[in-house]
Amino acid sequence: MNSLTRITRGIGVAFKDGRVKGILAFTVGMILWASVFYHFVEGWSWLDSVYFSVVTISTVGFGDFSPETAAGKIFTMAYIIVGLGIFVTAATTVADTILSQDDETPQK
C-alpha cells in the first residue's frame, strides 16, 4: 500500500505543477481542436470525434474509424506527427514529476 500512497501523492503534486498543467492543457486543446475538425469535416458525432482524436494521439489506433475525405486524411497525418510528440511530452512530464517526488522523500 505504501507504493500506492506514494503514486497518489505524486499525482497530486504533479497536477499542482505549472509545467504539468501547461502541457496537459495544450494536449487537451489539441484533442479538442482535432475533435472540432473531425466533427465538421468528416461529419462524425462529437463522441466519435473525441474518441478518434484520443485514440489517434495516443497511438492506440483501433481502426474502427478512419477519415474518408482528403482534408481529413491530410489533417490526420499532421495531427499524428505533431500530436504524438505532444502526447509523449505530456506523459513524460507527468511521470517525471511523480518520480521526482520519490527523490525528495527522506528515506527511513
Q: Write the CATH number for 78.
A: 1.10.287.70
* CA–CA dist 94, 10 (Å, integer): 9
Its pTM stands at: 0.78
Cell numbers of 39, please?
Answer: 466533427
* CA–CA dist 8, 88 (Å, integer): 21
Residue 3 lies in a domain: no
Residue 11 lies in a domain: no
Residue 9 lies in a domain: no
**Amino acid type, 106:** P
* CA–CA dist 85, 98 (Å, integer): 20
Q: pLDDT, tens digit, for every residue of 8-57?
A: 877 888 888 888 889 889 999 999 999 999 999 999 999 999 999 999 99
Number of domains in the chain: 1
- Which has more confidence, 50 or 108? 50
Over residues 76-94, mean pLDDT: 90
Residue 2 lies in a domain: no
* Domain of residue 53, residue span: 17-97
